[in-house]
Amino acid sequence: MTKLIGFQGERGAYSEIAAKEYDSSAKLLPFVNFVDVFEGVENGKLDLGIVPIENSLEGPVTTVNDLLVETNLKIVGEIKIQIRHNLLVLQGVNFEQVHCVYSHPQALAQCRDFLIKNNLEQRPYYDTAGSAKMLFETKQETASVIASKLSAKLYNLKILKENIADNEFNKTRFVVLSKKFAEEQGNKCSIIFCTHHKTGALFSVLKIFAEANVNLTRIESRPIRKKPNEFAFFLDFQGCDKDKKIIGLLDEVKNETLMFKFLGCYKEWTE
């Protein structure tokens, strides 16, 4: 049965590219906001949701991390894709005609050197693919956008310059959201926890992983929006939740923390 997967952004967004990588046969549905993707999965209108959780250059996607704290959705998979920014224009437009560039603020920041060198006025827009769609609709001959090759194809735009980012090592990690835990056995787990308000509380938790010789692949902290002065820690580690060592480790973490949430065990993405 064909799955219905939701992603944030317009058609051509990097999230859509990630969704196609995860399941090329799925029906994909775009949403304006991250919260709409989460709600779609929660209320059963979507089978799965795919959202970015962290970028190698910009760090965590804070809104997504906040929603993981506030909802009961599970993580059942991950995708990592290379972000390749391209300068797109209307068909027939040449580089000398272009005076400004629209895109998401992060995309503009990641191409800062190129934009300054070419004296292009930066105009922030809500979405990379959204800026491509806007250019297609408004037909601004002196404007360009930074977006994916998929956006160029979808909105009939010309790729004027390829791979214009300042740093070529630009990857985004996406997670797959579901109402239920993954059915297949995984080798990577994600948890969220809050520590007690005492000296060495975080160290006590991390010590459990060190003593069990379990490799951590991510640790982040975020203030909890609805609880002033409370912080949530996001932790990913290698291991299977069916393994006796991991089961015992998670029990120890629960006993050491004020709040504990197991987000899921899933297959680690391999290139």
Strand partners for 80: 173
In sequence order, what E strands does 2-94 have?
Answer: 4-8, 27-31, 48-55, 59-60, 74-82, 86-90
**Residue tagged active-site, from 31, 174, 209, 234:** 174
Looking at 124, 145, 178, which one is the last position of a domain?
A: 178
Length of the chain: 271
pLDDT number for residue 92: 97
> Is this structure's pTM higher than 0.85?
yes
Do 260 and 201 share a structural domain?
yes
- Contacts (Cβ under 8 Å, ≥6 apart) of 50: 5, 6, 7, 15, 18, 19, 22, 37, 79, 174, 175, 176, 177
Any domain includes 271: no
Q: What distance in Å separates the CA atoms of residue 17 and residue 23, rounded to the nearest whole number?
A: 10
Do 125 and 68 share a structural domain?
no
State how many domains the chain has: 3
pLDDT number for residue 144: 99
Q: What distance in Å separates the CA atoms of residue 129 and residue 78, rounded to the nearest whole number?
A: 22
**Residue tagged active-site, from 128, 172, 195, 257:** 172
Q: What is the CATH number of the domain that holds 152?
A: 3.40.190.10
Helix 244-256 vs helix 201-211: crossing angle, to nearest 10: 170
Query: Range of 61's domain?
Result: 4-82+171-178
Please say whether the dihedral angle defined by the alpha carbons of residues 227, 229, 230 and 235, taken in this order, is positive or negative: positive
The DSSP symbol for 168 reads S
Check if 262 is active-site. Answer: no
Q: Containing H/E element for 235?
A: strand 231-238
Any domain includes 136: yes
Q: Digits of tens for pLDDT over the chain (271 positions)?
A: 899 999 999 999 999 999 999 999 999 999 999 999 999 999 999 999 999 999 998 899 999 999 999 999 999 999 999 999 999 999 999 999 999 999 999 999 999 999 999 999 999 999 999 999 999 999 999 999 999 999 999 999 999 999 999 998 899 999 999 999 999 999 999 999 999 989 999 999 999 999 999 999 999 999 988 787 889 999 999 999 999 999 999 999 999 999 999 999 999 999 7
pLDDT number for residue 266: 99
Check if 2 is active-site. Answer: no
